Structures are given as structure tokens and as C-alpha cells.
């Protein structure tokens, strides 16, 4: 089946209500036209379903040890093999998806909740307020992500909640900078000038005119940071300061498997593939959202 035939058949399966929604229509069209983006969406959908229904999908308790069955190769009983404690790797990867998805979404949401308002204020306000906010953001932005996240986790304490807070703080400057840049562009538009002329309050102008027209780059940046947050969570767990055991973490599984690669390659391979595919999924979905929100795209010529 050619790409054009696949796209036509897929579009015909969409409910009428979705076909009438412009954003969803454009997003679905972008996914259909881009096989890689469709693959990324499928990966993220699988990870999400796996995380939600981990209790039903995992065949074993991820923390249960079974020493007689340690280092078993992948088989029907253990599709991804077992580790040095006889724990089922498939069950641990499944529960690791829940941790990874939770940490990435909540931490990026936290960063967005802090960074977007700060960016709006900085871009809309007088020079003194703008300079104060942005110089503080520049201080945070000067540190590499991992270097800043490590002491934050150590100071706050080693827990999943504190990992999410640390990642959220690390990525707040990025949202602030992106939002400020978009705000500076939007406030030069005529409709913002007109709103000021008729006496609209600054809060209403920001809420009704600035934010809706600055949201596109924020959403795209959000999907990019979801991929990076997945990687940072795994990296923190890999070096031993992420979510503490016995909670399954893809990064900690990789760390534990380093010294056993010669006898149990599957122990590192499957969590490593889970990390790589999840990051790929977020990245290509971000590309699809960017293409959907690109004003250069003609909504009439791309209609379903």
C-alpha cells in the first residue's frame, strides 16, 4: 500500500467530530503523512497504556526475588529474562514505564507552571522587572542540566517527588526564555496595541491576547523537554541519586547491569531500548506538533 492510499484510508476511519476540529485534524494529518511521527505516537501510546495498566500487564511482582532463577535468558516464562536476583525484567520494565512517564510529565508540567508566567511577566513588563527575572534565569541556565539536578536532589532528599521537583527547577529557565521571546513578538502586534488603547488591564491582555498567541512554541518546547526529562530521570537513577530502590527504574536497571553484560546482555538491552524508544517517541511527536502549529501550513490544502 502506498503512503497516499494509507493516508486516505486512515482519514476515512476518523469520527466526523474529530475531522471538524482544526487542530486535531492537522495533527492527525501530520501523523498520517509522516510515518516516523506515527511510529512515535504509537510508541508513546504503548508506553502510556503500559504505565496505566502495569498492575495487569506485569506477570510478576517487580520486586520479588527468586534466586534459583537468576540470570535466565529471555523465554516464554520470562520474555525479557531475569536479573541477578531472579527478578523478572519484563515486569520491571513495565513498572519502570510508569515511573518514567510520571516523572517526565509532572516535572515538565511543574517547569511550565513556573516558567510560563515568569516569561509572560518578563516579556510584558518594564526593563527592570524583565532584567531581574531573566538574570536569575540565566544563573540557573548557566549550569548543565545534570550538574544542577544532582545537588538539588541531594539537598531535597532522594525520592521520586524530589526528583520531579529538581527536574522541574532545572527546566524552568527554558520555558521562561521561550515564553519571553514569544511574548516580545506578540506584544508588537496591532491587536495588543488596540487592547491597550481601549483601557484593557494588563492581566486581561496577557490572558486573552498574549498567551493564546504565544502558546505554539511553548507546546513544542514542552514535548522536547518531555524527552529530555525522561533521559535526566534515567541518568539520575543510573548514578544512584534518583528514585531509590526497590522502585523499578530504567536508569537504575542499566546501572546494575553494567557489570554483568557478559553473562546477561538482556538485563541492560531491554531497559535501554525502552529509554531510547520513549525519547524517540517524544521527539518525533514534538516535530509533528511543530509542523501542525506552523503558520506556513495551509489548513485548506491540508484538510481531510
d(CA 261, CA 279): 23
Domains of the chain in start order, with CATH, are: 29-57+80-293 (1.10.3720.10)
- pLDDT confidence of residue 15: 45
304 or 205, which is more confident? 205
CA 20 to chain centre: 28
For the segment 210-249, what is each residue's pLDDT rounded down to a tens digit? 888 888 888 889 988 999 999 999 999 998 888 888 888 9
- pLDDT confidence of residue 299: 43
Contacts of 1 (CB under 8 A, 6+ apart): 9
How many residues make up the chain in this entry? 304
% of the chain surpassing 70 pLDDT: 85
Contacts of 2 (CB under 8 A, 6+ apart): none
User: How many CB atoms are closer than 10 A to CB 62?
Assistant: 19
* Cell of residue 70, nine digits: 537468576
Residue 279, pLDDT > 50, answer yes
Asked if residue 219 lies in contact with residue 289, where contact means CB atoms within 8 angstroms, the answer is: yes
What is the mean predicted confidence (pLDDT) over 115-126? Answer: 90
Asked if residue 92 lies in contact with residue 248, where contact means CB atoms within 8 angstroms, the answer is: yes
> How large is the greatest C-alpha to C-alpha distance in the chain, in angstroms?
78
**Exposed/middle/buried for 290, CB within 10 Å: 0-12, 13-18, 19+?**
middle
Amino acid at each position: 500500500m502506498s503512503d497516499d492510499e494509507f493516508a486516505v484510508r486512515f482519514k476515512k476511519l476518523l469520527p466526523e467530530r474529530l475531522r471538524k476540529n482544526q487542530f486535531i485534524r492537522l495533527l492527525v494529518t501530520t501523523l498520517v503523512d509522516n510515518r516516523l511521527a506515527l511510529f512515535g505516537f504509537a510508541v508513546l501510546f504503548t508506553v502510556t497504556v503500559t504505565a496505566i495498566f502495569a498492575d495487569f500487564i506485569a506477570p510478576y511482582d517487580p520486586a520479588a526475588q527468586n534466586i534459583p532463577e537468576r540470570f535466565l535468558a529471555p523465554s516464554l516464562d520470562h520474555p525479557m529474562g531475569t536479573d541477578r536476583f531472579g527478578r523478572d525484567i519484563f515486569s520491571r520494565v513495565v513498572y519502570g514505564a510508569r515511573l518514567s512517564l510520571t516523572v517526565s510529565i509532572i516535572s515538565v508540567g511543574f517547569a511550565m507552571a513556573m516558567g510560563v508566567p515568569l516569561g509572560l511577566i518578563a516579556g510584558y513588563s518594564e526593563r527592570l522587572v524583565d532584567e531581574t527575572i531573566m538574570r536569575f534565569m540565566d544563573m540557573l541556565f548557566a549550569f548543565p542540566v545534570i550538574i544542577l539536578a544532582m545537588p538539588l536532589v541531594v539537598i531535597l532528599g532522594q525520592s521520586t517527588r524530589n526528583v520531579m521537583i529538581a527536574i522541574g527547577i532545572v527546566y524552568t529557565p527554558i520555558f521562561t526564555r521561550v515564553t519571553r521571546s514569544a511574548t516580545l513578538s506578540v506584544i508588537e502586534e496591532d491587536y495588543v496595541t488596540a487592547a491597550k488603547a481601549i483601557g484593557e488591564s494588563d492581566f486581561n491582555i496577557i490572558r486573552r491576547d498574549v498567551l493564546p498567541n504565544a502558546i505554539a512554541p511553548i507546546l513544542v518546547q514542552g514535548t522536547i523537554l518531555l524527552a529530555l526529562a525522561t533521559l535526566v530521570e534515567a541518568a539520575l537513577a543510573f548514578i544512584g541519586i534518583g528514585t531509590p530502590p526497590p522502585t523499578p527504574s530504567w536508569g537504575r536497571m542499566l546501572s546494575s547491569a553494567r557489570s554483568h553484560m557478559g553473562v546477561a546482555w538482556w538485563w541492560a538491552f531491554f531497559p535501554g531500548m525502552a529509554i531510547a524508544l520513549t525519547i524517540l517517541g517524544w521527539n518525533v511527536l514534538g516535530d509533528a506538533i511543530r509542523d501542525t502549529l506552523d503558520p506556513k501550513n495551509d489548513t485548506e490544502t491540508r484538510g481531510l
